[in-house]
Structures are given as structure tokens and as C-alpha cells.
Amino acid sequence: MGGDGLERLFLRVGTLVIAGVALGVVGSAMAAALLRSLLFGIDPRDPLTLGVSAALLMAAGGVAVLLPSYRAATADPSAILKDA
């Protein structure tokens, strides 16, 4: 897989991660009334908490796609085919 394919894969998965985070933020805003009884000391719509959790989820998604992609991109195809 060349650099172009790696970039496309990262962008495709990145789009899914961003869509998931957006749906999660919208879902948490909709479920704020239910969450209010479970949270102590913070508001369910606290922008700092939502922002930090969204950033952590996006970082985890980025790492989850970058590490295997980098490993696949740097592998020697002839060595892999000899093992198969």
C-alpha cells in the first residue's frame, strides 16, 4: 500500500471517527436530563468536558488507524509473500 492509499484510509477512518464523535455529542445533549442524575459536580452540557472527551476519542481513533497502517506500509511485500 503506497502513501496515497494510506492517506485515503486515514481520511476515511478519520471521517468515521468525527461522525461518531459528533453523534455522541448530539446524543449526550439529548440525554442531558437522564445524565443529570448520574453526574455530580458537573453539568451534562459542560463544553470543557465534552471538548476534552471528544478530543481524546479522536486521538484514540487516529492512533488506532495510524499504527496498523504504518506497519502495513513499511512491511516488505516479498518477505510477507515468502511466509505465505
pLDDT tens digit sequence for 17-69: 889 888 988 888 888 878 777 777 777 778 888 888 888 988 888 888 788 87
Q: Are 83 and 70 in contact (CB under 8 A)?
A: no
**pLDDT grade, residue 84 (50/70/90)?**
low
Buried b (16+ CB within 10 A) or exposed e, 43-67: ebeeeeebeeebeebeeebeeebee
**pLDDT grade, residue 1 (50/70/90)?**
very low
